[in-house]
């Protein structure tokens, strides 16, 4: 590529006004790019703040329905459910995960009844139901893969029966996408999409999320035997290729901002619908700094989300979703 010399080339010509900047903008952010993660808890007409995530609350099912109505009104296409399970329901074998009437499935049915046009995404992992706090079943200190996959298929089928539009396997067990896709096809749920957490790293950025779902205190050890090493990039491409081959419709990189290079590599390599999760720690550090006046909150929110689009993402799971959607609506975007 040959770049002309100054003064023939003046890059500032296309920056001189808002109109000119908009004309040459390479990426845009819209409400259609957003998925809103929401935490569900037991009870009626209640909410409880998540102290490590300013502005985020656990909501009872009726309030989750209201959140879904708000999201639909703002043009947000999907809401993602994460349950805060009563500790008394957490077991070694995680049976509550496939209970048709667990919190996630109750919320899914309630949302699809009240707001059928919004897509409901359900998380597929055992940690909210596991007495050990892990995403898989633990045997003699080992997170066992194949037994966990069998449990995850049961969980996925229960979610599909409840009306989930998108399943989000976040467990990182080997072979789970193929097993889920086969189970869904056999059960007649041929149109349920799988958004695979294909490249999910063993990250320190998940801490506030584990507080939100009540998994922090239960977790024994760490998740490094099944989540990815943050040092690895090529492995992410191999995992994405495997999950697409096994039947994933969309893939995700998690966390988001520290792994924008992975987002770009995945999109360039496969061209598949690619998402990133701006996780709880990312949200908390931006929101916390803004509350203290150290950062311009609205600007860093938008800048951080636009970075995902520039990195090739088709969409972002973010706790900023309603705030960003309101900003875009006020702007007429």
Residue in 90, 112, 254, 267 annotated catalytic: 254
> 103-114 and 61-74 are packed helices; what angle lies between their axes, rounded to 10 degrees?
40
Per-position pLDDT tens, the chain of length 333:
677 888 888 899 999 999 999 899 999 999 999 999 999 999 999 999 999 999 999 999 999 999 999 999 999 999 999 999 999 999 999 999 999 999 999 999 999 999 999 999 999 999 999 999 899 999 999 999 999 999 999 999 999 999 999 999 999 999 999 999 999 999 999 999 999 999 999 999 998 887 778 766 677 789 999 999 999 999 999 999 999 999 999 999 999 999 999 999 999 999 999 999 999 999 999 999 999 999 999 999 999 999 999 999 999 999 999 999 999 999 886
Contacts of 234 (CB under 8 A, 6+ apart): none
183 neighbors 156 (Cβ within 8 angstroms): yes
- Separation between Cα atoms, residue 14 and residue 5, nearest integer Å: 16
Residue in 90, 200, 223, 267 annotated catalytic: 200
- Separation between Cα atoms, residue 236 and residue 96, nearest integer Å: 31
The reported pTM is 0.95
- Separation between Cα atoms, residue 272 and residue 254, nearest integer Å: 16
Topology adopted by domain 29-331: TIM Barrel (3.20.20)
Q: Is residue 200 among the annotated active site residues? A: yes
**Where in the chain are the domains?**
29-331
> Using omega within 30 degrees of 0 as the cis cutoff, is the peptide bond preceding 255 cis?
yes
Place of tokens 């879904």: 68
Question: Residue 167: in which H helix or E strand, if any?
Answer: strand 166-169
Report phi then psi at 14, rounded to 5.
Answer: -90, 10
């Amino acid at each position: 590529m040959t770049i002309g010399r100054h003064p023939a080339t003046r890059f500032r010509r296309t920056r001189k006004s808002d109109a000119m900047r908009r004309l040459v903008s390479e990426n845009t952010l819209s409400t259609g790019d957003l998925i809103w993660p929401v935490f569900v808890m037991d009870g009626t007409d209640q909410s409880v703040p998540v102290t490590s995530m300013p502005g985020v609350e656990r909501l009872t099912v009726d309030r989750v329905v209201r959140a879904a109505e708000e999201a639909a009104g703002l043009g947000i296409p999907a809401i993602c459910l994460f349950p805060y399970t009563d500790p008394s329901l957490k077991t070694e074998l995680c049976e509550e995960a496939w209970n048709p009437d667990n919190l996630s499935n109750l919320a899914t049915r309630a949302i699809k009844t009240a707001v059928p046009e919004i897509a409901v995404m359900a998380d597929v992992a055992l940690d909210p139901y596991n007495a050990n706090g892990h995403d898989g079943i633990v045997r003699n200190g080992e997170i066992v893969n194949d037994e966990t996959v069998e449990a995850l298929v049961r969980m996925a089928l229960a979610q599909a029966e409840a009306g989930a539009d998108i399943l989000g396997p976040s467990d990182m067990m080997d072979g789970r996408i193929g097993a889920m896709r086969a189970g869904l096809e056999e059960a007649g749920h041929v149109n349920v999409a799988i958004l695979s957490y294909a490249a999910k790293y063993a990250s320190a950025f998940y801490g506030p999320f584990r507080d939100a779902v009540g998994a922090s205190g239960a977790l024994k050890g760490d998740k490094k035997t099944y989540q990815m090493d943050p040092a690895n990039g090529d492995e992410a491409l191999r995992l994405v290729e495997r999950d697409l081959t096994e039947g994933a419709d969309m893939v995700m990189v998690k966390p988001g901002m520290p792994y924008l290079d992975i987002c770009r590599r995945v999109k360039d390599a496969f061209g598949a619908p690619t998402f990133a999760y701006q996780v709880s720690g990312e949200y908390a550090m931006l929101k916390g700094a803004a509350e203290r006046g150290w950062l311009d909150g609205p600007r860093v929110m938008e800048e951080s989300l636009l970075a995902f689009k520039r990195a090739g993402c088709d969409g972002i799971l973010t706790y900023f979703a309603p705030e960003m959607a309101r900003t875009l609506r006020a702007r007429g975007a």
